[in-house]
Amino acid sequence: MTGLRDSGVNPKLAVILVGEDPASVLYSRSIEKSCGAAGVEFVLFAMPEKSSEDDVIALLQRLNTDDSIHGIMIELPLPPAMNKQKVLQAVSPLKDVDGVHPVNRGYILSNGEGLFPTTPQSCIEIMVRNGIEINGKHAVLVGRGETVGKPLIFMMLNQNATVTVCHTRTRDLPGHTRLADILISAVGKAGIITADMIKPGAVVIDAGINSVPGGGICGDVDFVNVEKVAGVISPVPGGVGSITTSLILKNVIKAIALQQNENKGGK
């Protein structure tokens, strides 16, 4: 960040939190902490649960045109009464550090210079950091949700994996998962991935987050038993979720570059 500051840019991230969803409150705190450690200015806009869509969009429009703000992130889920798509479309694609705007979603398909969502990015980053080859591997994704599974389809294709996608209508889920060199679960059901569904030696990445009765979180994978069959496995907590905040910061830096590029183009 020092280089950026030397050139007169003080990176600043705005996070919008509507309501008090406990996981979102914790995530905001963890982003604030990471920003503090990295020297990125952090500003939280906490709005009441009963705020209207128009209130959030008005704030977004203000932040979109504020040159001191380089990244904007909206904590999800939004209150059920809000039109999520309408709100997400109001974020400037150049400041959209969680990769939720349709323009950035489109860039995933074309592998273009956009801002990509951090949780699917994190699934890939874990493999890259651990020297796991993705190129040419058969990746089986369980879950096609908008946040994780769906963007991952194209992000894994961009890494030259051969991709199979499973969901609730998939017939014979274990038959598919057993063929996976890389199995990524993004479902949100504790224990849905069991040891008998894993090819021995496979890479297992668990993006699921589930509450554990009595406190804490766990993933989708039966970690204790799958660990005995898998070659590599990412834990929950301490796996996919643990690097998303650092990827948000990486996206802030990328956003600054995109904004500078846009400004140059406009002159």
In terms of DSSP bridges, do strands 217-218 and 210-211 run parallel, antiparallel, or are they unpaired?
A: antiparallel
Structure tokens at 92: 């400037």
- Residue nearest to ligand NAP as judged by C-beta position: 145
Q: Binding ligand NAP by CB under 6 A: which of 28, 51, 244, 251?
A: 244
Rule CB under 6 A: is residue 187 a binding residue for ligand NAP?
Answer: yes
The per-residue b/e assignment along 81-96, b for 16 or more CB within 10 angstroms, e otherwise, is ebebeebbebbbbbbb
Rule CB under 6 A: is residue 189 a binding residue for ligand NAP?
Answer: yes
Q: Residue 5: what residue type?
A: R
Q: Binding ligand NAP by CB under 6 A: which of 91, 126, 153, 186?
A: 186
CA distances for 203 relative to 3, 13, 20, 53, 139, angstroms: 37, 34, 36, 41, 9
Q: Residue 232: what residue type?
A: V
**Minimum distance of ligand NAP from residue 167's CB (angstroms):** 3
Q: Of the two residues 148 and 182, which places its CB atom closer to ligand NAP in the complex? A: 148
Query: 10 Å Cβ neighbour count for 138?
Result: 16
Distance CA 56, CA 42 (A): 18
Rule CB under 6 A: is residue 235 a binding residue for ligand NAP?
Answer: no
- Residues numbered 146 to 165 that lie near ligand NAP (CB under 6 A) are 146-149
- Residues numbered 44 to 63 that lie near ligand NAP (CB under 6 A) are none
Distance CA 75, CA 17 (A): 5
**Minimum distance of ligand NAP from residue 65's CB (angstroms):** 29
Q: Which stretch binds ligand NAP (CB under 6 A): 44-52, 81-89, 104-112, 186-194?
A: 186-194
Rule CB under 6 A: is residue 74 a binding residue for ligand NAP?
Answer: no
Residues that bind ligand NAP (CB under 6 A): 119, 142-149, 166-170, 173, 186-189, 192, 207-209, 240-241, 244
